[in-house]
C-alpha cells in the first residue's frame, strides 16, 4: 500500500508543477529518477528492464535506464514522428494541403458544420486500426496526413488532436496483442472473440464516443472563444497546386492500408519506410510539374526542417515520460494495485467494474495500454472459474479501459505525439479526450453487463 501512496504523491506533485507552467521534460525525468532511487533504497521492485544490464554500480543504474529509453524511443517512435512531421511540412511547402482544402471544401459545405466532419473523421480514424493496430503509429500517421486537412477545413487544433488521440481508444482489431491475449484467456479463437464479443460492443461504443466528440469539442471550443467554420474557398491563398495534389497528403495512409496484411501477405513496411517512399513519389511529381531539379532539391530542406523541429520538441518528452512511467512500475505500485483488486470480494460484474477501473488508472499512470491489461488478464480465468462467471464479460471492460486510459494519459506516447504535432500541452489533449472516452467506458460496460 505504501508504494501506491508514494506513487500518488509524486503524481500529484508532478501534475501541480506542470499545470503551474514548469517544463514537463525535467519535471517528469526528475520524478522518474526519484522513484527509481526509491526502488534502490527500499528494494520493493526490479529497477532494470530485462534487456538492460547493470553498470556495476547500482546508484548509476537509473541513468542507464534513461540512456536505454533515449536509444529505444528516439530510434523507433521518435523517428516515426520526425519522418511524418517532415512529410507534413513538405506537403505544406508544395501546396498539397491547400489543394485538399480547395477540393474538399465545396462539397463539405453541404454539411454546414465542421463538427459533422469531425464525427466522420473519427469514424475513419477508428476504422484504420484494422490496418494499423498501433495506437501511436496510427496517431502519428494521422497527424501527418489528416490533421492538416482538418485544420484547413475549419476545425481547431485541439479538437482535431482530441479526435486523433482517441483513434484507437476503442479497439476491435484482431491483429492487436491485447485481442490475441484476451481471446486466449477467454479460451477461444481470436476471430471468434473479436467478431462475436469484442467487435459488437466496440462498434456501438465508437458511435457513442464519436457523437460525444461532436458536442464536447464544440463546448470546449466555445469556452476558449473558438468558432469552427468552413473556410471561404475564394479566400484561400495557396500555392496554386493542381487539384490532384489533394491526394498526396494521403499517400502514407493509402500505402499503410494497401500493403497491410489485410490486402497483401508477406510485405512489412515500417511507417518511416512508407514516408520515404511517399516523399520520393511526391518529389518526382514536383519535378515533372516544375521541371526544375534545383528548386525541387531545395524543397527537401523543408522535410529535413520538419524532422529537426519534431526531434527538438518530441523526443525529450517521450524519454522523460518513459522514465516517469518506469519509475512508477519499478517501485511496485502497479503490482500492489493488482493485488488489491484481486483481494476485493464482489459479485462477478462488480468485480469486472473494479478491474476495469484499476486497469484504467494503471494505464493513465503508466501511459501504456498493453502493460496493465496483460498484467491483469492473467488473473481473470482463475477468478472467473472460482466464481462461476463468464471470463469474456470480465475481460472486455478491462481491455477497452486499457486503451481508453492510454488516450487519457499525459505521459503516453500517443498523447505526447499528438500534442507535439498540434503544438499543445499534453494536458490540453487529455482534456479533449477524457470526457468522450469516459462516457464511452460507461456505455461499453453497461453493454457488457446487459448483453454478455
Which residue in 315, 231, 279, 274 sits closest to 87, CA to CA?
Answer: 279
- Cell numbers 529505444 correspond to 72
Total residue length of the chain: 452
pLDDT by residue (tens digit) across 245-300? Answer: 888 888 887 888 788 776 787 888 888 899 999 999 999 999 999 999 999 999 99
Please give the grid coordinates belonging to residue 374: 496483460
Which residue in 147, 24, 25 sits closest to 85, CA to CA?
Answer: 147
Q: pTM of this prediction?
A: 0.73
Confidence at residue 228, expressed as pLDDT on a 0 to 100 scale: 63
Q: Which distant-in-sequence residues (6+ apart) come within 8 Å of 220 by Cβ? A: 158, 159, 162, 431, 432
Helix, strand, coil share (%) of the chain residues, nearest 5:
80, 0, 20
Q: DSSP assignment, residue 367?
A: S
d(CA 266, CA 382): 38
Confidence at residue 123, expressed as pLDDT on a 0 to 100 scale: 92
Please give the grid coordinates belonging to residue 386: 472460482
pLDDT by residue (tens digit) across 101-160? Answer: 677 656 655 666 788 888 988 998 898 888 777 788 788 888 877 888 888 778 899 999
Q: Which distant-in-sequence residues (6+ apart) come within 8 Å of 11 by Cβ? A: 328, 365
Confidence at residue 256, expressed as pLDDT on a 0 to 100 scale: 80
d(CA 395, CA 401): 10
Tens digit of each residue's pLDDT, the chain (452 residues): 788 899 889 888 887 887 777 887 888 899 999 999 999 999 888 899 888 999 999 999 999 999 998 888 777 777 877 887 788 889 888 988 777 767 765 665 566 678 888 898 899 889 888 877 778 878 888 887 788 888 877 889 999 999 999 999 999 988 777 888 888 888 888 888 888 999 999 999 999 999 999 999 999 999 988 766 655 554 444 567 888 888 888 888 788 878 877 678 788 888 889 999 999 999 999 999 999 999 999 999 999 998 887 777 667 777 887 888 888 888 888 677 667 766 766 777 888 888 899 889 888 987 877 777 876 787 788 778 777 778 899 999 999 999 999 999 998 889 998 998 898 989 999 999 999 999 999 999 999 998 88
Q: How many CB atoms lie within 10 A of CB 156?
A: 22
Confidence at residue 231, expressed as pLDDT on a 0 to 100 scale: 57
Amino acid at each position: 500500500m505504501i508504494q501506491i501512496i508514494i506513487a500518488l504523491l509524486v503524481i500529484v506533485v508532478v501534475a501541480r508543477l506542470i499545470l503551474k507552467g514548469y517544463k514537463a521534460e525535467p519535471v517528469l525525468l526528475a520524478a522518474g529518477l526519484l522513484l527509481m532511487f526509491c526502488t534502490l533504497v527500499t528494494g520493493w521492485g526490479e529497477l532494470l528492464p530485462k534487456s538492460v544490464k547493470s553498470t556495476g554500480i547500482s546508484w548509476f543504474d537509473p541513468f542507464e535506464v534513461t540512456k536505454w529509453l533515449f536509444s529505444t524511443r528516439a530510434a523507433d517512435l521518435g523517428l516515426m514522428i520526425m519522418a511524418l512531421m517532415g512529410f507534413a511540412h513538405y506537403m505544406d511547402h508544395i501546396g498539397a494541403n491547400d489543394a485538399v482544402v480547395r477540393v474538399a471544401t465545396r462539397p463539405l459545405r453541404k454539411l454546414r458544420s465542421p463538427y459533422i466532419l469531425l464525427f466522420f473523421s473519427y469514424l475513419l480514424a477508428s476504422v484504420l486500426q484494422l490496418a494499423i493496430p498501433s495506437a501511436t503509429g496510427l496517431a502519428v500517421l494521422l497527424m501527418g496526413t489528416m490533421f492538416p486537412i482538418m485544420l484547413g477545413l475549419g476545425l481547431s487544433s485541439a479538437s482535431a488532436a482530441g479526435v486523433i488521440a482517441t483513434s484507437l481508444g476503442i479497439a476491435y482489431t484482431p491483429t492487436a496483442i491485447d485481442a490475441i491475449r484476451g481471446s486466449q484467456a477467454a479460451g477461444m479463437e481470436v476471430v471468434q472473440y473479436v467478431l462475436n464479443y469484442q467487435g459488437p460492443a466496440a462498434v456501438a461504443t465508437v458511435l457513442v464516443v464519436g457523437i460525444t466528440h461532436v458536442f464536447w469539442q464544440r463546448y470546449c471550443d466555445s469556452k476558449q472563444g473558438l468558432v469552427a467554420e468552413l473556410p471561404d474557398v475564394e479566400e484561400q491563398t495557396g500555392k496554386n497546386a493542381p487539384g490532384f495534389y489533394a491526394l498526396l497528403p494521403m499517400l502514407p495512409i493509402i500505402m499503410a492500408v494497401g500493403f497491410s496484411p489485410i490486402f497483401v501477405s508477406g510485405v512489412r513496411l515500417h511507417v518511416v519506410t512508407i514516408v520515404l517512399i511517399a516523399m520520393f513519389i511526391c518529389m518526382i511529381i514536383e519535378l515533372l510539374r516544375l521541371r526544375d531539379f534545383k528548386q525541387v532539391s531545395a524543397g527537401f530542406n523543408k522535410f529535413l526542417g520538419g524532422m529537426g523541429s519534431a526531434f527538438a520538441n518530441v523526443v525529450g518528452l517521450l524519454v522523460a515520460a518513459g522514465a516517469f512511467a518506469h519509475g512508477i512500475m519499478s517501485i511496485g505500485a502497479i503490482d500492489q494495485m493488482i493485488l488489491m483488486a484481486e483481494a476485493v470480494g464482489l459479485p462477478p460484474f462488480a468485480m469486472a467494474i473494479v478491474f476495469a477501473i484499476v486497469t484504467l488508472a494503471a494505464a493513465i499512470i503508466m501511459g501504456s495500454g498493453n502493460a496493465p491489461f496483460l498484467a491483469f488478464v492473467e488473473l481473470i480465468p482463475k477468478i472467473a472459474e472460482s466464481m462461476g462467471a463468464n471470463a469474456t464479460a470480465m475481460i472486455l471492460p478491462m481491455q477497452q479501459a486499457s486503451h481508453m486510459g492510454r488516450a487519457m494519459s499525459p505521459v503516453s506516447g500517443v498523447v505526447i505525439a499528438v500534442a507535439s504535432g498540434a503544438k499543445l500541452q499534453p494536458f490540453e489533449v487529455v482534456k479533449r479526450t477524457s470526457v468522450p472516452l469516459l462516457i464511452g467506458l460507461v456505455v461499453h460496460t453497461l453493454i457488457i453487463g446487459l448483453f454478455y
